[in-house]
Amino acid sequence: MTSPVPENIRMEDYSYQLPEDRIAKFPLEDRAGSKLLVYDRGKIGKTPFRNIIKLAGGDGLLVLNNSRVIQARIIMYKPTGSRIEIFLLEPLEPAGYERAFVASPGCRWKCMTGNKKKWKGGSLAKEVMVHGKKATLKTEMTADHGTWQEIRFSWEPGELQFGDVIDGAGMTPVPPYLDRMPVAGDKSWYQTVYSRHEGSVAAPTAGLHFTGKILDELRASGSATGEITLHVGAGTFAPVKSETADSHHMHSEHFSVTKKTIRQIIDYAGSVTAVGTTSVRTLESLYWMGVKELTGLLNDVPLKETAGKKASGVNSCSSGLSQWEYVSLPGNIPVTAAMEALLHKIDKKDSEILEAKTGMMIVPGYRFRVTNRLITNFHQPGSTLLLLIAAFIGKDWRRVYKYALDHDFRFLSYGDSSFLIPG
């Protein structure tokens, strides 16, 4: 069995001083020109990111999160002039991201609402440009759950799809710590070159350094690339307010993985590089879901017709993993066996895709099952992402971050990155 939920992991022990001027407010013009810190089993050095080809090339598997950032910030105005900001979180009706983005002439979303005390009722409307033509977007708050609200969206002309409407009406949800409004360039800057499936409200930022050329050269070197889709939620920026990690409520995120990627994980077991913490979270969650399947604990959710079926002609089946669920599961099952169990589950449902929701929280003391190497940016002090880094390379995370600060690395979403190989 795995160890109990780790106690007394004090958040103050996973903090550091981050000067404001070290936070990258804008990206470099040359994505691959950023710095790459290399941590290789205790040794630390630096190189331009484009040299990742020499470091990660070969016969391993590179796992990419292909989620695409949506224009999730929508500003509306009341007739009185009051400014109301609506931040999209996840679709409610129709359920499922792909179905929501092709919906017409209306849909309902879970949102956060800024200045909601000024919005007592009624609908708000604004004119937007969609494909060069005028359209009207209307919003109505149908329920208030305190920390989030149900917002009904409708638009004219009604034949437009919601994805096109918000692309014209919304703004790029740049991280709050940038302390600036989004600009036109963010729409392309804050997107990986391999993004395909809309749904994230924050970019999987480790992937921002990759170019099409680098990916082509990695594949030419013998590396395989596998894709997962985890839609990054607003919870990724939620501060840890509790004194200890075990008291923090971890946010959940939706992800999907194809049978092809699961087979790749089996084929390259022991040589898997995750691009970004979102890929890590997905890979490790897959392992524990496979363990649940083997032990008869993976709940079957009735197969539903999802957007995947509608858009690509394939079925999907759904499952999930809660925050600390893995600590009560046997952790000695081989990765290949766990992945084979997932393939069997998908096949039983005559599916091609596994859809799930994970609330898994990775903290120091965790033993990684699937992820062998990690490419990631530098994270906020006292964050759940920093806890994950500390779990991956141990106490050396302090040496890594000190080296980055001492050598003028740029931090957070638009900053530089690191390639971590634990001992």
Cα dihedral 102, 108, 109, 113, rounded to 10, equals: 130
The DSSP secondary-structure symbol of 320 reads: E
What is the structure's pLDDT at 6? Answer: 76
CATH 3.40.1780.10 domain span(s) along the chain = 11-68+188-421
| Cα(327)–Cα(345) distance, integer angstroms | 22
Tokens 């080296």 found at: 403
According to DSSP, the residues that pair with 352 across neighbouring strands are: none
Task: Report CA 312 to chain centroid distance, whole Å.
Answer: 22
What is the structure's pLDDT at 318? Answer: 59
The DSSP secondary-structure symbol of 349 reads: T
Angle between helices 397-406 and 384-393 (to 10 degrees): 110
Dig out the tokens for 70 from the structure. 């949506």
Contact 362, 245 (CB under 8 A): no
Task: Report CA 357 to chain centroid distance, whole Å.
Answer: 12
What is the structure's pLDDT at 313? Answer: 38
CATH H-level, domain 11-68+188-421: superfamily = QueA-like (3.40.1780.10)
Residue at 70: amino acid letter: I
Sign of torsion over alpha carbons 161, 162, 163, 168? positive
| Cα(314)–Cα(158) distance, integer angstroms | 27
According to DSSP, the residues that pair with 255 across neighbouring strands are: 230, 356
Tell me the pLDDT of the chain (423 aa) as tens digits: 445 677 789 999 999 999 999 999 999 999 999 999 999 999 999 999 999 999 999 989 999 999 999 999 999 999 999 999 999 999 999 998 989 999 999 999 999 999 999 998 899 999 999 999 999 999 999 999 999 999 999 999 999 999 999 999 999 999 999 999 999 999 999 999 999 999 999 999 999 999 999 999 999 999 999 999 999 999 888 889 999 999 999 999 999 999 999 999 999 999 999 999 999 999 999 999 999 999 987 555 433 333 333 333 344 555 789 999 999 999 999 999 999 999 999 999 899 999 999 999 999 999 999 999 999 999 999 999 999 999 999 999 999 999 999 999 999 999 999 999 998
| Cα(186)–Cα(405) distance, integer angstroms | 25
Dig out the tokens for 391 from the structure. 């779990």
Q: Is 39 helix (H, G, I), strand (E, B) or coil?
A: strand
Dig out the tokens for 395 from the structure. 């106490």
Q: Around Cβ 117, how many Cβ atoms within 10 Å?
A: 7
Peptide linkage before 48 cis (omega within 30 of 0): no
What is the structure's pLDDT at 319? Answer: 77
The full length of the chain comes to 423
| Cα(329)–Cα(298) distance, integer angstroms | 11
| Cα(371)–Cα(281) distance, integer angstroms | 9
Quick one: 305 exposed, middle or buried, by C-beta within 10 A (0-12, 13-18, 19+)? Answer: exposed
Q: Around Cβ 390, how many Cβ atoms within 10 Å?
A: 22
| Cα(26)–Cα(172) distance, integer angstroms | 13
Q: Whose CA is closest to 225, among 258, 254, 203?
A: 258
Task: Report CA 393 to chain centroid distance, whole Å.
Answer: 21
What is the structure's pLDDT at 239? Answer: 87
Which residues lie below 8 Å from residue 168, measured CB to CB, with a gap of 6+? 128, 129, 130, 131, 135
Question: Phi and psi for 384 in degrees, rounded to 5?
Answer: -65, -30
Q: How far apart are the first and last CA of the chain?
A: 23
What is the structure's pLDDT at 251? Answer: 93
Which residues lie below 8 Å from residue 259, measured CB to CB, with a gap of 6+? 343, 346, 347, 352, 353, 354
Contact 194, 215 (CB under 8 A): yes
